[in-house]
Structure 1
């Protein structure tokens, strides 16, 4: 099967090895002539970034880059990025990287034309309608990991540097106009990042599939996304040069982020505050807490996960699926607990309060409260 395709759902996606060469065409399609490439500090010096800047320059787009992006991007990063965008007279953003680069790039494009402060656009009620939609700059997204799926998302996660809370900034128009999914860009990922980002995609699909909300389209996408991760993440982890596995994982990442329109749950409700306070890798944190959350939600999801297990070729219904997750984590070198992840003496009450305040709690199959969430967090530790 050839992993080379153009899709128009949920936006224009160009999938295939070597398709970063189309960055000039993608920018033209999005209406950009002078884009700012936004990426993170780690990627800024890598060959794939230099090669992309060369392609931009060859296409007459210049080679402007902003890379002051932290692993958990903050409002300070947004402010600096918007200043670079405005000072450079740019007309669009190429969001390049993993979740941090993609999320920050999207918010820079969003905020560059706004007059209100960032937190006025948090994903609460209809706050997104406060934005001047016509002032949102176009975005081309180029993922270099296969996990967050932010390249097909209408939101970004930004950490409030004062409160250490992760906030979701939402607007329908920060869905990138064009996405280039080139699996060759993910070949250089360290194995630990391949594992963590891959399990992030798995968590997105799993929580969307288990969410009690009604969205059968997302349900189907989530189920097939789980299958792709099951089949191809171990291959990508074992051999980073396996282009087929890398391409399938890029598809799974986009599917997870499309599916979680149906909702997320306790996995993300826990991992958001843990990551914001303790600076753990988001996808790895998701993987660490996944089995405990499955156990927590079992009364509400046992039948549903039995059906998923059957589709995935896993015997034993819910128990078989639970054991599969544990074995996959072990295979990928994921720590067995938050303690093993390096979290010592956390402020449990503060983490629980933040978890209950996280938008992801609304999609959890079992209602979360202070008592059961405290017990869940202690079990994860």
Structure 2
């Protein structure tokens, strides 16, 4: 079976090995003649970035790059990116990288023409209508990890550097005009990033599948996304050059982010404040939090995960699924507690308050309270 396709759900996706060569055509289709490639510091000097800049240069698109992006990008990174974009006279963004590069790149394209502060566009009610939609620059997204799925998302997560709170900034036009999913770009990912990003995709699928909201399309996508991670993440982890495994994980990442239109839940409500305060890796944090959240949600989700377990080839229904999650984490080198990642129990009350403010709470099947969230933090720390 050929792992190549041209998809338009949720946006136009050029999928397949070697398709980064089609970047100039994607820019032309989007009307971009002077792109700014936005990525993170860790990727800036890697060969995949140099070769992508070479493709841009050869096509007459220049080779402008902005890489002053933290692992959990903040409004200072954003302000610097907007300055670079406007100073360079750019007319579009190539968002290149994992979640941080993709999220920050999308926000540079969004904010370059706005006059209000970014916090005015938080994903609350209809705040997105405050933006000047005509001033949003076109975005080409090029993921280099297989996790967040930000390449198919209409929002970005930006950390407020003063309050250490992660905010979700939303606008429909933040959805990239086109996406190039080239699994060859993920071959060089180290094992711990392969594991952490892959489990981020898994968490997106698990939470979307758990969400009580009605969205059958997302429900189906979430289920198949879980299967792809189960089958192919161990292969990608064992052999980073396994292109079939890398391609299927790249699909699972896009599927997870498409599915969570149905909602996220307590896993993300916990991991967002932990990441903001302790700067932990997001996907790895999600993986550590997953088991305790499954326990909390068991009364509401056990029946549907009985069905999911059967589809996934896991014996024992929901209980079997929980046992699988722990064994899966262990096999991928994921720590069992957040204390192993430098998270202390001394700030649980603060983390609990931040978690209860996180918009992910709304998609959890069990109502989150100060009592059960603090209990979750005690369990996972």
Q: Structure 1 length as normaliser, TM-score?
A: 0.99
Deviation at 1:291, TM superposition (A): 0.5
Larger mean CA deviation between 211-220 and 334-343 belongs to 334-343
Residue pairs, 1:297-312, within 5 angstroms = 297-312=297-312
1:227-306 to 2 correspondences below 5 Å: 227-306=227-306
Distance in 1 (CA, whole Å) between partners of 2:341 and 2:66 is 31
Counterpart for residue 133 of structure 1? 133
> 1:40, CA displacement in angstroms?
0.1
Aligned to 1:374: 374
In structure 1, what is the Cα distance between the partners aligned to 2:249 and 2:43?
Answer: 20
SS class of match (1:347): helix
Q: Is the partner of 1:180 in helix, strand or coil? A: strand
Q: Distance in 1 between the 2:119 and 2:263 partners?
A: 22
Per-residue CA deviation, residues 79-116 of structure 1 (Å, 9 max, x unaligned), is 00000000000000000000000000000000001011
Task: Tell me how far 1:281 sits from its aligned partner.
Answer: 0.1
> Residue 119 of structure 2 corresponds to which residue in structure 1?
119
Partners of 1:339 and 1:73 in 2: CA distance? 23
Secondary structure of the corresponding residue to residue 167 of structure 2: strand
Task: Supply the distance in 1 between the matched residues of 2:343 and 2:164 (Cα, whole angstroms).
Answer: 16
| Aligned ranges 1:1-381 → 2 under 5 Å | 1-381=1-381
Displacement, 1:339?
A: 1.3
- Aligned equivalents of 2:135 and 2:173: distance in 1? 10
**d(CA) in 2 for partners of 1:6 and 1:302?**
36
Tell me, in whole angstroms, the C-alpha distance in 2 between the residues paired with 1:350 and 1:177. 39
CA shift digits 1:238-263 (9 cap, x unpaired): 00000000000000000000000000
Contact 2:139 2:177 in 1 (8 A): yes
Deviation at 1:344, TM superposition (A): 2.4
Q: Number of aligned pairs?
A: 381
Measure, in 2, the Cα distance between the counterparts of 1:118 and 1:209: 31
CA distance in 1, matches of 2:2, 2:346: 48
- Deviation string for 1:122-168 (max 9, x for gaps)? 00110000000010000000000000000000000000000000000
SS of aligned partner of 1:63? coil
Q: Which runs of 4+ in 1 moved over 6 A?
A: none
User: RMSD across aligned C-alpha pairs, in angstroms?
Assistant: 0.5
Residue aligned with 1:36, SS: strand
Task: For 1:14 and 1:247, locate their aligned partners in 2 and report how far apart those are by CA, in whole Å.
Answer: 12
Deviations 1:315-355 (A, max 9, x none): 10011000000010000000011112221244111100000
List alignment gaps of at least 5 residues for structure 1.
none
For residues 167-213 of structure 1, give each alpha carbon's deviation from its aligned partner in whole angstroms, at most 9, with x where no partner exists. Answer: 00000000000100000000000100000000000000000000000
In structure 2, runs of 5+ residues without a counterpart are: none
CA distance in 2, matches of 1:308, 1:31: 43
Write out per-residue CA displacement over residues 295-317 of structure 1, whole angstroms, 9 at most, x where no aligned residue: 01101101011110011010100
Partner of 2:13, secondary structure, is: strand
Question: Aligned with 1:48: secondary structure?
Answer: helix
Is the CA contact (8 Å cut-off) linking 2:345 and 2:378 kept in structure 1?
A: no
> 3-state SS of the aligned residue for 2:6?
strand
Q: Distance in 1 between the 2:91 and 2:119 partners?
A: 23
- String of CA shifts for 1:222-274, please: whole Å, max 9, x gaps: 00000000000000000000000000000000000000000000000000000
